[in-house]
């Protein structure tokens, strides 16, 4: 029996959507935490309170922004010899805090390694962790999409309802040494890409990322680039300005869509093959020089700054006219 229940108090890294965009609406980790240990502070950053280290938020965060201290994915990969998982109230050779701890990367990994995975559900609907069932269902949906692309039947994921008569007693004891020991970390998305990149056989929709497109109204202000927590958008401005997008990095957080002052960005559904790293050219425009000397990249006769100044000037003139 392997005990992977306690993951250590989590921390939030720089990939959190709130780190690059103060108005980010993401609160997935907060919504799924069964112990209300996470909150948004006055600066709109996610803060960690009395975390018990269940790791459910880790599984819910699409940005790979949550860091576990113990029982990392790599530890499960190294130590599991029988791919059967359950929480302390359910059957399963490997004890985890909640079945939602199994991200799509781990489920796909065990299916590829053993040909199947057994996941035992306990009395989930009545459990304190029931909010996290939604995370589990989402991870299963992503797994299903990935397995479809790999041409592997979803029957390999066996889910059974089976409670234990007596709950398993996890070892919550944690030494100071364990807390500070840095182990090999592999972000979930990188882990998944490594697993599937050589094996995709067919197209299948994937809910973990999105395809972006940018329309003519874009003026290359670069706000989307700066609010993207994953570095999925890069804007190059030379003789031509070009917006590049890498869907394999994108977590579908929609910061870019919400922050674009021109409402120039739209999202479409993505496919498993979008997880393979690439640079898509989303939009380009040749350089222009405004009479004020500014370089800009729109079809207009003047640069965006002069456009704003002209608008303000017109407004002021209309106020002056009203005075007489
Ligand atoms: S990006 Fe991750 S850590 Fe940040 S708020 Fe969203 S779920 Fe939480
Ligand atoms: S898409 Fe929007 S945010 Fe990005 S450069 Fe264009 S106008 Fe700016
Ligand atoms: S490209 Fe947009 S939706 Fe994707 S991670 Fe970056 S900000 Fe979020």
Residues 97 and 27 in one domain: yes
| 81 located within any domain | yes
| Residue 20 lies in domain | 2-196
In this prediction, residue 181 carries a pLDDT of 41
- 27 pLDDT tier (thresholds 50, 70, 90): very high
Residues 157 and 30 in one domain: yes
Q: Which of 233, 234, 266, 279 to mutate to test the pocket of ligand 3 (most atoms within 8 A of CB)?
A: 233
Residues 47 and 141 in one domain: yes
Q: Which ligand is nearest to the CA of 255?
A: 3
219 Cβ below 6 A of ligand 2: yes
Residues 160 and 229 in one domain: no
Q: Which of 252, 265, 278 to mutate to test the pocket of ligand 3 (most atoms within 8 A of CB)?
A: 252
The residue among 138, 162, 196 that closes a domain is 196
| 265 located within any domain | yes
Rounded to 5°, the CA angle 9-15-21 comes to 120
Q: Whose CA is nearest to atom 8 of ligand 2?
A: 221
The residue among 176, 196, 216 that closes a domain is 196
312: CA distance to ligand 1 center in Å?
Answer: 39
CATH number for position 273: 3.30.70.3270
Residues 89 and 214 in one domain: no
In this prediction, residue 204 carries a pLDDT of 97
In this prediction, residue 173 carries a pLDDT of 55
Residues 114 and 185 in one domain: yes
| 93 located within any domain | yes
CA distance 322 to 5: 71
| 163 located within any domain | yes
| 320 located within any domain | no
| 129 located within any domain | yes
Which of these, 120, 110, 121, lies nearest to 143 by C-alpha position? Answer: 110
Nearest atom in ligand 3 to 227's CA: 7
| 262 located within any domain | yes
Q: Which of 256, 266, 268, 277 to mutate to test the pocket of ligand 3 (most atoms within 8 A of CB)?
A: 256
Residues 162 and 213 in one domain: no
The b-or-e profile of 143-160 (16+ CB within 10 A means b, else e) is: bbbbbbbbebeeebbeee
Residues 10 and 134 in one domain: yes
Model confidence pLDDT, tens digit, residues 138-194: 999 999 999 999 999 999 999 998 877 777 777 765 444 443 343 467 889 999 999
Residues 238 and 133 in one domain: no
288 Cβ below 6 A of ligand 2: no
Give residues with Cβ within 8 angstroms of 305, minimum separation 6.
Answer: 290, 292, 294
217: CA distance to ligand 2 center in Å?
Answer: 8
State yes or no: pLDDT of 196 exceeds 50.
yes
- 116 pLDDT tier (thresholds 50, 70, 90): very high
Residues 118 and 224 in one domain: no
Model confidence pLDDT, tens digit, residues 231-281: 999 999 999 999 999 999 999 999 999 999 999 999 999 999 999 999 999
Nearest atom in ligand 1 to 17's CA: 1
- The pLDDT mean for the chain works out to 90
Query: What residues line ligand 3, using a CB cutoff of 6 Å?
Result: 227-228, 230, 232-233, 250-256
188: CA distance to ligand 2 center in Å?
Answer: 29
Residues 233 and 137 in one domain: no
Q: DSSP letter string over 196-228?
A: HTTT--S--EEEEEEEEEE-TT-----HHHHH-
In this prediction, residue 184 carries a pLDDT of 67
Q: Whose CA is nearest to atom 4 of ligand 3?
A: 250
Which of these, 202, 193, 229, lies nearest to 24 by C-alpha position? Answer: 229
In this prediction, residue 203 carries a pLDDT of 96
State yes or no: pLDDT of 128 exceeds 90.
no
Nearest atom in ligand 2 to 221's CA: 8
DSSP three-state, residue 86: strand
Q: Which of 13, 18, 19, 103 to mutate to test the pocket of ligand 1 (most atoms within 8 A of CB)?
A: 18
Number of folded domains that form the chain: 2
Of the chain, the percentage scoring pLDDT greater than 70 comes to 96
Model confidence pLDDT, tens digit, residues 34-82: 888 999 998 889 999 989 888 999 999 999 999 998 889 999 999 999 9
CA-derived radius of gyration, the chain: 24
298: CA distance to ligand 2 center in Å?
Answer: 11
The residue among 196, 230, 263 that closes a domain is 196
Residues 211 and 167 in one domain: no
Q: Are 210 and 247 in contact (CB under 8 A)?
A: yes
CA distance 190 to 186: 7
| 310 located within any domain | no
- 6 pLDDT tier (thresholds 50, 70, 90): confident
Of the chain, the percentage scoring pLDDT greater than 90 comes to 74
Query: What residues line ligand 1, using a CB cutoff of 6 Å?
Result: 12, 16-18, 26-29, 46, 60-61, 63, 65-66
Q: Are 206 and 146 in contact (CB under 8 A)?
A: yes
């Amino acid at each position: 029996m392997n005990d992977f229940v306690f993951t250590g108090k989590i921390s939030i890294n720089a990939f959190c959507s709130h780190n690059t965009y103060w108005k980010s609406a993401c609160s997935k980790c907060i919504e799924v935490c069964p112990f209300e240990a996470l909150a948004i502070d006055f600066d709109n950053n996610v803060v960690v309170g009395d975390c018990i280290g269940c790791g459910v938020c880790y599984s819910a965060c699409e940005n790979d922004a949550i860091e576990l201290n113990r029982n990392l994915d790599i530890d499960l990969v190294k130590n599991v010899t029988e791919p059967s998982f359950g929480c302390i109230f359910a059957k399963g050779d490997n004890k985890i805090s909640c079945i939602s701890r199994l991200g799509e990367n781990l489920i796909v990994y065990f299916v590829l390694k053993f040909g199947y995975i057994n996941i035992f559900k306990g009395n989930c609907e009545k459990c304190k962790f029931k909010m996290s069932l939604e995370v589990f269902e989402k991870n299963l949906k992503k797994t299903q999409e990935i397995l479809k692309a790999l041409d592997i039947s979803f029957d390999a994921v066996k889910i059974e309802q089976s409670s234990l008569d007596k709950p398993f007693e996890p070892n919550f004891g944690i030494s100071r040494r364990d807390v500070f020991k840095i182990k090999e970390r592999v972000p979930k998305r990188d882990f998944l890409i490594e697993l599937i990149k050589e094996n995709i056989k067919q197209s299948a929709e994937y809910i973990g990322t999105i395809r972006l497109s940018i329309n003519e109204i874009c003026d290359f202000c670069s706000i989307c680039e700066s609010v993207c927590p994953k570095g999925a958008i890069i804007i190059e401005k030379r003789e031509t300005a070009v917006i590049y997008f890498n869907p394999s990095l994108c977590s579908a957080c929609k910061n870019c869509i919400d922050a674009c002052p021109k409402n120039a960005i739209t999202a479409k559904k993505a496919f498993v093959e979008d997880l393979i790293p690439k640079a898509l050219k989303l939009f380009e425009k040749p350089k222009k020089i405004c009479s004020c000397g500014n370089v800009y990249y729109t079809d207009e006769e003047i640069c965006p700054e002069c456009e704003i100044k002209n608008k303000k000037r017109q407004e002021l003139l209309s106020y002056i006219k009203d005075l007489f």
